[in-house]
Amino acid sequence: MDDVAWTRTEMLGPEAPPASAVGIVGWMRANLFSTWLNVILTVAALGAIWLLASHIVPFFAHSVWNASSYSECREIVARTWGEGASGACLAVIRERWKQFFFGFYPADYYWRPTLAFILMFVALAPVLFSSLPRKMLWFSAIFPGVAYWLLWGGSIFFPIAIYLGFVAGYVAFRVAERGPSFLPPLAAAVVTIVWWLFIAGPLANLLPDIGLPAVQSKQFGGFMLSMTIGVTGIAFSLPLGVLLALGRRSDMLFVKWISVGFIEFIRGVPLITLLLVASFLLNIFMPPGTNFDIILRVIIMVTLFAAAYMAEVIRGGLAALPRGQYEGADSLGLNYWQATRLVIMPQALKISIPGIVNTFIGLFKDTTLVAIIGLLDPVGLITSIRANSAWNGIVWELYGFVGFMFFICCFGMSRYSQYLERRLRTDRH
Amino acid sequence: MHKGILLGAFAGMALAAGAASAGTLDDVKARGTLKCGVNAGLAGFAAPDASGRWEGFDVAYCRALAAAVLGDAEKVEFTPTTTETRFTALVSGEIDVLARNSTWTFTRDVDLKLDFIGVNYYDGQGFMVSKDLGVTSAKELDGATVCIQTGTTTELNLADFFKTNGMTYQPVPIQTEAEARQQFLGGACDAYTTDASGLAAARSGYPNPENYIILPEIISKEPLGPVVRHGDNQWADIGRWTFNALVSAEELGVTKANLDEMKGSQNPEIRRLLGVEGSLGKMFGLNDDWAYNAIKAGGNYGEIFAATIGEGTPSNLARGLNGQWTDGGLLYSPPFR
Amino acid sequence: MTMPVAVTAEPFRLSMLIYDTRYRSITIQIIALVATLTFFGWIVSNTLANLAALGKTFDFGFLQQRAGYDINQALIPYTNDSTHGRAALVGIVNTLLVAVLGCITATIIGVLVGVLRLSSNWLVARLATVYVETFRNVPVLLWILALMAVITDLFPAPAAFRGDNATAAMMANGTVAITNRGAYIPWPVFGTGWQAVAIVFLLSIASAWAFGRYAHARQVATGRTLPTFWIKLALIVLPALIVDWLVGAISFQVPELKRFNFEGGGFIDKSLIALWFALALYTGAFIAEIVRGGIQAIARGQSEAAAALGIRPGRIMSLVILPQALRVIIPPLISQFLNLTKNSSLAIVVGYADVRATLGGITMNQTGRELECMILMMGFYLLISLAISTVMNVYNASVAMKER
């Protein structure tokens, strides 16, 4: 073959592409103006961008940060940019940002919610990133108590007494685990509740009152309130959702019906009706004379609400597990609760995390509804700031700020859950 | 391990929850704070300032009551309420007293099981329109679009007024004062109707107040007052007489400034009011200096009025019907005897 | 040939209730049943005790009482002399109205944006992504409030249409006025002989349907197609128009600017517009994601095969991709419809009189019947969601992949 002189021994290099197909021009041709339809779409899109930008850009370009009232803001804008110019009065954010983040929390203790917020990420880290050491999960477990103590203050021994209830319940669970399958959860529940009802209170009262100054939940507000409601709702709804999901998949007809009934009822009504129940009716359902504050009532209803959605997410996770896992656990001789705790749930929960994050995003956005029943979450604060005579008439700056903050949080979380979904997809072989 | 975590929450609450069944006074004393329901945001009457401190006419009453009961005007927890949640919050025991410019009506008093303990502001429903419309009387509003706050008595009054005059209108329901401003100034409604005090206060906050007029017709009586739960007479008495003490103090010339001086007054009613003579406070379970403390919190009725909604404040309201009876107003406190 | 297995009649012992798996589940269920009943009994007895303490009764008589308040947008006749029950009904109709309008609009927006997100046009695809992310990640309550504020601030008041130097003008040849109070539109008035027009209209719809069948049969038989869309449109519209022109039965009343407002014609309140579009834009962003996911779920080979057959890109989408994608799209789409319906309960923040605003708002507030109103309202929403999930189940059964 080598003696055939006219055969090339190597490929010719490619010709340089025509000028119209490379560089910016080529890119634009390929991506913006490839067909007549695309030309029209591009022009329409440019028009839409121009329309929006022509309103929004000057508004923010002319923003005022230093003013003590809305009328002063408008004066400054008119003086600097001419009569009739529109400008954002961001001075209101500058004056009220603390209220937006902390509500009416005492200013001296701002470090407490801030610390709780930071610790939340430490607690979440081992759940979200599986490469971290598993021992960190212990901190995740005690975080709710720490956060409660930081936010509400009071004696440190109160959350500790509550936690000891879990310990007692766990001991009862392990002791009863050799018995029939329904005994462990029953024993754990009974021991824990008995502990909380009859031992925890006196124990906490007995011990010295060492701790942080107490803060009333009335003083919660702004994003801190949204976060508290959202995070507590999700944290408490997780175990409840696990139970409901297991109940819904149960062979026992009646247990299944209770679970299905609860889930479908909660998912069938709007959250606002549940909040109205919290506001109007929950006290009527409790024994006469019971009275606990509205934020606690809202958290209860939000927890029930989230539990129904959580149950569906976890049910999806359970359904996605291969049958072999159940059969494998059975063949090892594990009973129902052992199999669930050691084999099924760890896997089901892991693949449910993106769904759980999505549920949290939805719940976090839905916490704005508490403004309708008069709580001062960010949206409720907008109302009360607009009522202040200094800021009468201000609209867009406040909505824009609150919307922007929500966007940052929710967008970040949804990106994270998409990343998780992608990773989980490649994880499984 | 997580079993019954919700029940745990309930149990936790059982530890924290107080029973509201005993007398309200005992509850308040045991708790050490007064829970007061206020408007979530109405300029002059109740709104939090930048540092989160509540200010306003209704707020001042709550502080006076806290001072009378607990001796400290700062021991108040303010609960913002909406028109929808206010009475339920009171009846369910979430708050001890509601001071949220609520109108005293028969059905509220009788059917909703509330007790109005007095009238701290005599009001009436009026209309405000833009001058450009050329309207001089509410009777000319046939076919107009009217902005109105929902969940209030004004809604019913408005329907009645247009009905009796054989006119029609298009209601634009709104939730808050701020929204009303936006709608009304934007021309989304021709007329804005609410209590006349609210109209005046709102107008003074507008960029060009002279462009708007308040029509002469007052179409309803709106006696606004603090409310307590029905059935706790001791607590209702405390609320009622704390308010009367503020009114009497103005009538008798007792002010925040001359309070201590007045203790030495020879007027027996002032002496009884300030607890120098007799022991009125003991009769309903308070200290004898209860009224002294109440007045010290924010001054007498006139001083509170002037500081929060009176002339010179953003609301800029004249005393009018809310003057002392001696000045031709309707404020008439029963004697302290 | 199965032999009946003889069950050895083991004597029943009490401990079998716990240790024998056959009986254990019954034991657990009975415990659960008793616990549930006790819980509900506890709640009912608490409620009764509390109601008695408040001196309240439990009855629905208030629904027969005069409501006394006015509603700005009612599809069925209503005045302030009507009963609270009637007001609740107005609210229910309004909820259904905004839900239906919102679902339709959200679907249109969602499908459009979902397809545009996959567009080869870089700018349009990015813009669609920005829309989806912005609307999905901000609470719907804020969108509703913001849209209401936009309408109030950006559209002219009716007064702007007045006088010689009016700053705003009516659109569509002076028949439509879009103001910051809402949209005033022409409204049909049915004069004598409108029945004839209606009958002709119904007949032409029937003939259009018959023509569609004929055209399809012809295409199957001969392979030739007819411009069915235009012919159908003409069949439906033209005869009725001609008859109406001859008889002069149906006329349109055009809104006119009077003392305060435009009067005559139809009126769409701005609260409805704000709620409708806020819900549609918000839900549309979710639907766009569903549509995109559905389209991407279809194997690439499908569109390549269709392209190989020489089908145009638009037709590939409508004939090959979408019909297959629908199977994936519809179930989550319906659950979005359910979400939209539930979110419509936020109507009160813009003053739209839905069932939550009338029955669960003003009526509850005026009568103090919280328990009764809440029960009725939750019952209504439950009924709607049950109806929607029934539709979904029927659909799922009908499109389920026929596996052999």
**Residue A179: pLDDT over 80:** no
Model confidence pLDDT, tens digit, residues A47-105: 989 988 888 888 888 888 888 888 888 888 888 887 777 888 888 888 888 889 988 88
Contact B239, B228 (CB under 8 A): yes
Selection from A120-124, B1-5, B242-246, C157-161 with the highest mean pLDDT? B242-246
Any CB–CB contact under 8 A between C133 and chain A?
Answer: yes
Q: Report the residue from C80, C180, C357 with minimal CB separation from B159.
A: C80
Evaluate if residue C321 carries a pLDDT over 80.
Answer: yes
A197:B14 CB<8 A: yes
pLDDT at C224 over 90: no
Task: Assess C318–A contact: CB distance below 8 Å, yes or no.
Answer: no
Confidence of residue C400 (pLDDT cuts 50, 70, 90): low
Higher pLDDT, A23 or B328: B328
Q: Determine the pLDDT at residue C279.
A: 95
Alpha carbons A313 and C71: distance in angstroms, whole number: 41
Range in A293-297, A307-311, C280-284 with the lowest mean pLDDT: A293-297
- A390 with A69: CB under 8 angstroms? yes
Q: Does the pLDDT value for residue B21 go beyond 50?
A: no
Question: Residue ranges of the domains in chain A?
Answer: 155-212
Residue B253 and residue B150 in contact, taking contact as beta carbons nearer than 8 Å: no
Q: Which residue of C has its CA nearest to A253?
A: C29
- Band of the pLDDT at C19, cuts 50, 70, 90? low
Instruction: Give the contacts of C60 (CB within 8 A, at least 6 positions apart).
Output: C372, C376
ipTM computed for the complex = 0.86
* Buried b / exposed e along B79-94 (16+ C-beta atoms within 10 A): bbbbbbbbbbbbbbbb
Rg (Cα) of chain B, in Å, rounded? 22
Strands C182-185 and B191-195: unpaired
Predicted confidence band of residue A2 (pLDDT cuts 50, 70, 90): low
Nearest CA in chain C to B229: C54
Q: Which of residues 266-325 of B touch A (CB under 8 A)?
A: 314-315
Condensed to tens digits (0 to 9), the pLDDT of residues B243-277 reads: 999 999 999 999 999 998 988 888 999 999 998 88
pLDDT class for B11, splitting at 50, 70, 90?
very low
How close, in Å, is residue C20 to chain B by CA atoms?
A: 25
Question: What is the CA C117 to chain-centroid distance, rounded?
Answer: 24
Nearest to A268 among C32, C141, C382 (CB): C382
Chain A contact set for B13 (CB, 8 A):
292, 296
C121: nearest CB among A31, A271, A283: A31
Nearest to C296 by CA among C118, C172, C177, C60: C118
To the nearest whole angstrom, how far is the Cα of C182 from the nearest Cα of chain B? 9
User: pLDDT higher for B132 or B63?
Assistant: B63
Per the CB < 8 Å rule, is C56 touching B87? no
State yes or no: pLDDT of C236 exceeds 90: no
Provide the 10 A C-beta neighbour count for residue A327.
10
Question: Chain C residues with CB inside 8 Å of B111's CB?
Answer: 368
Q: CA of B250 to nearest chain C CA: how many angstroms apart?
A: 36
Chain A residues whose CB is inside 8 A of the B176 CB are: 383, 386-387
pLDDT of C164 higher than 90: no
Q: Which pLDDT value is given to residue C3?
A: 52
Closest alpha carbon to A279 in B94, B42, B7: B94
**Is there a contact between B77 and A218 if contact means CB atoms under 8 Å apart?**
yes
**Following DSSP, what letter does each residue of A176-199 receive, concatenated?**
HTTS-TTHHHHHHHHHHHHIIIII
Residue C404's pLDDT is what?
47
**Strand-pair category, B97-103 with B34-39:** parallel
Lowest mean pLDDT, pick from A166-180, A363-377, B84-98, C10-24: C10-24
* Nearest Cβ partner for B43 among A173, A292, A388: A388
Compare all CA atoms of chain C with the CA of A48 and give the residue at the minimum distance: C127
Give the DSSP H/E element, type plus range, for residue B172: strand B169-174
Q: What is the pTM of this model?
A: 0.85
Domain boundaries, chain C: 84-186+254-399, 190-249
Give the residue numbers in C contacting B (CB under 8 Å), as ranges: 54-56, 68-72, 80, 149, 152-153, 156-160, 180-181, 258-261, 263, 270-271, 348-349, 351, 353, 357, 361-362, 364-366, 368, 370
Q: In what order do the strands lie in the sheet with B144-149?
A: B169-174, B144-149, B191-195, B125-130, B212-214
* pLDDT (tens digit per residue) in B171-181: 888 887 788 88
CA separation for the pair B78, B80 (Å, rounded): 6
Residues of chain C contacting residue B155, judged by C-beta atoms under 8 Å apart: 69-70, 362
pLDDT at A182 over 70: no
> A272, A363, A402, A425: best mutation site toward chain C, by most C Cβ within 10 Å?
A272
Q: In the prediction, which pLDDT does A4 show?
A: 62
Read off the pLDDT band of A181 (50, 70, 90). low
Taking the Cβ of residue C24 and every Cβ of chain A, the question of whether any pair is shorter than 8 Å is answered with yes
As a whole-number percent, the residues of chain C with pLDDT over 70 amount to 93
Residues A229-260: tens digit of each pLDDT: 999 898 889 889 999 999 988 888 888 899 99
Contact at CB, B113 and C366, closer than 8 angstroms: no
Tell me which chain C residue has its CA closest to the CA of residue B83.
C365
3-state helix, strand, coil in chain B (%, to 5): 40, 20, 40
d(CA B274, CA B263): 7
Look up residue B285 and give its two tokens. Answer: 């379970």
Q: Chains that contact A by 3+ CB pairs under 8 Å?
A: B, C
Chain C residues with CB under 8 Å of A379 CB are 139, 141-142, 145
**CB spacing of B85 vs A373 below 8 angstroms:** yes
Chain A nearest C-alpha distance from B196 (Å): 17
Q: Phi and psi (nearest 5°) for A428? A: -85, 135
- Residue A2 is classified by DSSP as T
The reported pLDDT for the residue numbered C393 is 82
Residue B81: its chain A contacts at CB < 8 A? 374
Q: For chain C, what percentages of helix, strand and coil (3-state, to nearest 5) are there?
A: 70, 5, 25
Mean pLDDT of B146-165: 87
- The pLDDT score that the predictor gives to residue C6 is 52
Mean pLDDT, residues C308-334:
84
Percentage of chain A modeled with pLDDT above 70 = 96
Q: Between C70, C159, C180, which is nearest B171 by CB?
A: C70
d(CA B200, CA B215): 11
Which residue in the set A218, A239, A372 is minimally distant from B5, CB to CB?
A: A239
Residues whose CB is less than 8 angstroms from the CB of residue A261 and which lie 6 or more positions away in sequence, other chains included: none
Give the pLDDT confidence of C113-144 residue by residue, as tens digits: 998 888 888 888 899 999 999 999 999 999 99
Asked whether residue C274 carries a pLDDT value surpassing 80, the answer given is: yes
Cβ contact (<8 Å) for A294 and B94?
yes
pLDDT of C374 above 50: yes
* Predicted pLDDT at B1: 33
Question: Contact at 8 Å (CB) between C98 and C276?
Answer: yes
Q: Look at residue B16 and tell me whether its pLDDT is greater than 60.
A: no
Domains of chain B: residue spans and CATH = 26-122+224-323 (3.40.190.10), 125-222 (3.40.190.10)
**CATH number belonging to domain C84-186+254-399:** 1.10.3720.10
Distance from CA of A378 to the nearest CA of C (A): 10
Helices (H) and strands (E) in chain C, counts: 14, 7
Instruction: Give Cα A327 to chain centroid, integer Å.
Output: 35
Q: Of A236, A243, A376, which has the smallest distance from its Cβ to B80's Cβ?
A: A376
Phi-psi region of C357 (alpha: psi -120 to 50; beta: other; left: phi over 0): alpha
Task: Give, in order, the Cα–Cα distances in Å from A359 to each of A230, A305, A306, A309, A347.
Answer: 10, 11, 8, 7, 19
| Cα–Cα distance, B206 to A226 (Å, whole number) | 33
Burial letters for C197-223: b for 16+ Cβ neighbours within 10 Å, e otherwise?
A: bbebbeebeeebeeebeebeeeeeeee
Name every residue whose Cβ is closer than 8 Å to that of residue B216 and which is 6 or more positions away in sequence. Answer: B136, B137, B138
Question: B167: which DSSP letter?
Answer: -
Q: What whole-number distance in Å separates Cα of residue A244 and Cα of residue A241? A: 5
CB contacts of A254 in chain C (<8 Å) are 29, 32-33
* Whether pLDDT at C10 is above 80: no
pLDDT tens for each residue of A200-212: 777 777 777 777 8
Task: Name the residue facing B50 among A99, A197, A200 (closest C-beta).
Answer: A99
Quick check: A285 pLDDT over 60?
yes
Distance between CA atoms of residues C154 and C179, nearest Å: 9
Averaged confidence pLDDT in chain B: 86
pLDDT for residue C218:
86
Average pLDDT, chain C: 85
